Chain A
Amino acid sequence: NAGVMQNPRHLVRRRGQEARLRCSPMKGHSHVYWYRQLPEEGLKFMVYLQKENIIDESGMPKERFSAEFPKEGPSILRIQQVVRGDSAAYFCASSQDSSDIQYFGAGTRLSVL
């Protein structure tokens, strides 16, 4: 019974490149959340998705960031034209519904050179 799977675990990008972070939720979970953990800070909510729908994107930066959760396949967090300030750990969580416990993946650590 696999948990929330995130890949890659570590991602290195140069400034200006694109970063794609993938998240496969737990089996039976149709709700996905993305959080960002900047160095020396707590986790900040970014976006909440259900299959094919963005429910809440109030935590997403206005530019360069996008997220999707297609009918088939993992959820993708996409960061275009990365900058050094995007360096952080990005965590995905999934749940069965909006009031259920969220289970977290191990995270993707993005380093921008």
Chain B
Amino acid sequence: AQSVTQLDSQVPVFEEAPVELRCNYSSSVSVYLFWYVQYPNQGLQLLLKYLSGSTLVKGINGFEAEFNKSQTSFHLRKPSVHISDTAEYFCAVANQGGKLIFGQGTELSVKP
């Protein structure tokens, strides 16, 4: 069975500081990996995805993530955060069967 663990439930950070949101997954088959962002009272917006190819994936809003197969990780990074990045971030895994398995979410709080 597949599972996703987001190691931090809350990450407070000051504006313009770098941030890393951690995600580990377990799966016995090849997977696709995703990061979604959810702003308050809104749906989920895709930040970036890893399907195959280069292990460093660049997404929207200056975010990037690196797929590490040996460590089964897909950590999300941004070198300098803005107040507007305050939101909840979800890591997810899927196989070709379609359904997404989500982590518990990480609440990123950017302070001035």
Residues of chain A having any CB pair with chain B under 8 Å = 4, 6, 31, 33, 35, 41-45, 48, 55-56, 58-59, 91, 93, 95, 98-99, 101-107, 109
On whether the beta carbons of B100 and A102 are closer than 8 Å, the reply is yes
CB contact between A42 and one of B32, B41, B90, B98 (< 8 Å): that residue: B90
Would A101 and B43 be within 8 Å (CB), given that A42-B90, A43-B90, A55-B98 are in contact?
Answer: no
15 more contacts with CB within 8 A, not counting A4-B43, A33-B98, A99-B98, are A31-B98, A41-B104, A42-B103, A42-B105, A43-B44, A43-B102, A44-B102, A45-B101, A55-B98, A59-B99, A95-B98, A98-B98, A104-B45, A105-B43, A107-B42
A44, A56, A93: residue with the most chain B Cβ atoms closer than 10 Å: A93
| B97 contacts the other chain (CB 8 A) | yes
Contacts of A98 in B (CB 8 A): 96-98
Inter-chain CA distance A103–B100, complex, in Å, is 12
Annotate B85-112 by CB proximity to A: 1 below 8 A, 0 otherwise: 0000010000011111111110000000
Alpha-carbon distance between A101 and B104 when the two chains are bound, in angstroms: 20
> Would you call A106 and B102 a contact (CB within 8 A)?
no
Contact A104 B44, beta carbon cutoff 8 Å: yes
- Distance in Å: Cβ of A94 to nearest Cβ of chain B: 11
